[in-house]
Structure 1
Amino acid sequence: MTTLTQLPADYIQNPHEVHAWLRAEGPVREVLMPRGLKVWLVTRYEEAKVALTDPGISKNAAEGGHLFDVHSTTGGARREFNQALSVHMLNMDPPGHTRLRKLVNKAFTARRIELMRPRVNEIAAELIAKLNDGDEVDLLEAFAFPLPITVICELLGIPIDNRDEFREWSNTLLSFGSNEDIVRASGAMAQFLVGHVEKVAAQEPDDTFFSALVHADDSGDRLNTQELVSMAFLLLVAGHETTVNLIGNAVLALLRNPDQLQILKDRPELIPASAEEFLRAEGPVNLATFRYTKEPVEIGGVTIPANEIVLVSLVAANRDPEKYENADQLDVTRSAQGHVAFGHGIHYCLGAPLARLEFDVALTQLLARFPNLTSAAEPETLEWRDSTLIRGLHTLPVRLA
């Protein structure tokens, strides 16, 4: 019989301290989330990798979604996404997942991503050209958000004029909004994407990414309209949210660790590889997306019964001192390979190469132009977004120099 642990109300603002004592207690613990959902939380590295790949743990949201109602202790209504946005790979097990991943891989190739580097450089340079020495700006608003949203909108062939709407919809869907807000935002997103998919499908195929995705064919098998809408939603949200917060969290970490900032200023050739350390130390995703046990599953000597929600803290696993020495310290010269910031196994993030490319370009250009940037906010005024999925700040005020 396990003891149910209540996570503190400020868990989202201070997860590392909570994760440290949870790891010390054991690899897996039954916890009550701040808003009253009972889950099994995995916080150690080796057990996280097991939980992310165990065939007894499912991601089939269509079959397991009712467990949110079963394990809610508050009796609140489940947050309902528009169904048109839900038929994507993150909500599926094989063979459905295998089929979708194979079709998307035909369009989302490493070569296609690397060919985007000149354009990503161009977008970053345009954004930095608008900034001046002495300016005080919110770095997220001025740089970390517009860079990846511009890239992903161009990738999907979506007019950049819509980017502020996407940001509002995305923030609503990934935070603890009301059910009414979720229905409104997901409905608006779905309506827009249905129209966009139909427009691209009616055109002749060209060499753009989304056209390649719409017309991707595997022995006569193609993505249908609903699958394309869900895939566009997944790419749009995951494609900018993770990178916004990878950039923002990295700059915050450097401002808090000036010795590490100096290393990257002195040796900018380390920036591409340093992405792995920033992903490890303060990755953009805290709790990986929904999973549940189809049968009793043993992880790290703990048996999780069937029909239980399992959440894996990627942030906690990446700070496991059994895996990384001095795990709570940022070390941009560390080899942080093996981290699970992008997940592990068949659901490993499809967009990881794009996020790494954008991080490399963003940090290289930012530090080259403003090597002496400093924080323009007192540390205690910085707030993390109200989300257990996304690990990112509301704002990051900096002074450019």
Structure 2
Amino acid sequence: MNFSYSEKVNRLQQELTQFMEDYIYPNEHLYEDYVNSQGNRWETIPTIMEELKEKAKEKGLWNLFLPESEYGAGLTNLEYAPLCEIMGRSHIAPEIFNCAAPDTGNMEVLVRYGTEEQKEKWLKPLLAGDIRSCFSMTEPEVASSDATNIEASIVRDGDEYVINGRKWWSSGAGDPRCKISIVMGKTNPEAPKHEQQSMILVPMDTPGLKIERHLPVFGYDHAPHGHMEITYTNVRVPVSNILWGEGKGFAIAQGRLGPGRIHHCMRLIGSAERAVDEMCRRVQQRQAFGKKLSQQGVIQEWIAQSRIEIEQARLLTLKAAYMMDTVGNKEAKQEIAMIKAVAPQMALNVLDRAIQAFGGAGVSDDTPLAFMWAQARTLRIADGPDEVHRAQIAKLELKKYSEGVLVHGRS
């Protein structure tokens, strides 16, 4: 495995880093101030974001994801990893480069499974950044970490499908630019377990679709993006809105979540790197008990351990990305599961040390640390909780022995 970066990736890294320094970091507080100053945080489009998006387009820093696709930048997962990491250093950056969840995952679904009509109507506006989207899978009444538990119904009635169900944590649904939802539900409860589910495209203005409430994350509402609880009551859409076909929902979910999981991990490494930057600057500036904080042994231990954990997580992320590129997402599922279990906990460890080094300022909104901690903690649950990933890792490891692949450490 060769993890050295190509000339193209090195150039994009430099350009992204410069863009972050010139435009992203200086505008983080301006963005928050703008959102907070509006009367209705859920209806206002932060104009500063649109201005920065135009700058990103002008500089060719747009749609850098989508490997093996005519629509993306022609980067592999391995090439995209260090770029996504840079974006992960700021909570506003991914959207500015049109590389934010859930749009990236939804665009990948449309590229892989959408019809030409669906691509024309929804994929192209998403790629252009003209609209946004949400993904309605998780439900409050069932353990949604097992996707086969999903109970929302998708019933065919002539030339239409009728959708009924309650979803929550539909991230992005609060944004007034969100125009389309990908909904997962059951089309055939009598089919084999993994063929009961389907996914379907539901425009947000369809009668019967109702946003019930927004769901804060550790007190952060993430307006105007948000995480919404949505009810679908006798929602009717054309049969042509089904994705791939009836019974393909579980397969689509697995295909969608693989790239989404590793993108989260890439961004988490960026968050951890920024936390180390903030911590190192802070401890060089502050004194306690007669010497700089950076001279305190415990602080040095925090910095060393943080660097070790980040490098370990980065190498595992790169390995998973390399395998996705070379043997496919299915064969790389153990590596994807491992990094999804490792990266959020790593980021939480590093962020917690940085918060401790900042003291009272660390838990305030004067630094980005508290916000990043809340995001990282959520990712121990989102896209599958740690326990599910660890269970899968163990099963895949034991399978090698049950099939006689490994005997006493030898094949």
Between Structure 1 and Structure 2, whose CA radius of gyration is higher?
2
TM-score clears 0.5: no
Query: TM-score, normalised on structure 2?
Result: 0.29
TM-score, with structure 1 as normaliser = 0.29
Structure with more of its chain in strand, by fraction: 2
Structure showing greater relative contact order (alpha-carbon pairs closer than 8 Å, 6 or more residues apart): 1
